[in-house]
Amino acid sequence: MSTLLSCENVHVNYGPVRALTGASFTLDTGRICGLIGMNGSGKSTLFKAIMGVVPMHAGSITLDGQPVGGNHGSRGKNAHHHRAGLVSYVPQSEEIDWTFPISVREVVSMGRYRNLGITRRLRAADRAAVDEALARVELTDLADRQIGALSGGQRKRAFVARAIAQGAQLLLLDEPFAGVDKRSEAMLIQVIEQLRDEGATVLVSTHDLASLRQFADEALLLRGDILMHDTPEKVLAPENLVRAFGMEVDAGAPTAASSATTSGTTTISSAEGKN
């Protein structure tokens, strides 16, 4: 295995608020890593820093050996690797404007945009990739529905299908199991495992610590910086969860949000991380 993602001493501030305070870790290819921490611990900020869409005040992030656009001192406005299709982001549900007039197929087709010419028209190979991605998450029959008409689990599956169609090497999944039914959760886990076996790297944030044990190869404990990076069994030890959550947490059950945060919604297209 080779290192795909490397974060070194990453600091991100929102005005006076310090969101990330020196996060450092590496991820190898073909691994599933769980990202654990209470709300407000910096999980979503870490994802955005990896995509290069928030500036770092210190530190560096490299993907496949190349710096991302948001590195400290970088003048790049957008993340080169996101434009190149190396990384795909599946956002939290509350970040999306589900009334946006776009079909499931069109959402998944966004994963092919980097391959299109100036006409922005899908070619036969692009349509085949979209069809295959829809089939893998069992949304073929719902492909022409408006995205907001789907259930919570189906919506998450649609965005995972977009990542599959893109052929991303790094998938960033922000709370993919929140508000989904058991069938969709099981399907998402199965697809994540398949992508790992095909060589993709997956970083997934979740409060569902019980299911994390089922599929993750490793886990990160985050509270501004990385408190621990090890196997799920070691990271989920009670004494480590107390450090991360500030209270005792049952590692066999989903955790409660202990520090609420707020965020605005975005359109479907801006959720790709191109802003």
Domain definitions of the chain by residue range: 3-272
Indicate the pLDDT class of residue 72, thresholds 50, 70 and 90.
low
Q: Is 269 exposed, middle or buried (0-12, 13-18, 19+ CB in 10 A)?
A: middle
Q: Is 200 exposed, middle or buried (0-12, 13-18, 19+ CB in 10 A)?
A: buried
Indicate the pLDDT class of residue 263, thresholds 50, 70 and 90.
very low
Among 93-107, 159-173, 174-188, 240-254, name the one with the lowest average pLDDT.
240-254
Indicate the pLDDT class of residue 267, thresholds 50, 70 and 90.
very low
CATH number given to 3-272:
3.40.50.300
Cβ neighbours, 10 Å, residue 141: 9
Q: Which amino acid is at 158?
A: A
For the chain, percent of residues with pLDDT exceeding 70? 83
Check if the beta carbon of residue 59 is closer than 8 Å to that of residue 11.
Answer: yes
Average pLDDT in the 190-199 region?
96
Please name the residues in contact with 211: beta carbons below 8 A apart, sequence gap of 6 or more: 177, 185, 189
Report pTM.
0.85
Question: Is the per-residue pLDDT at 217 higher than 80?
Answer: yes
Tokens 């801006």 appear where?
270
- Name the pairing type of β-strands 225-230 and 218-223: antiparallel
Mean pLDDT of the residues in the chain: 86
Indicate the pLDDT class of residue 119, thresholds 50, 70 and 90.
low
In whole angstroms, what is the distance from residue 103 CA to residue 124 CA? 19
For residue 106, the model assigns a pLDDT of: 95
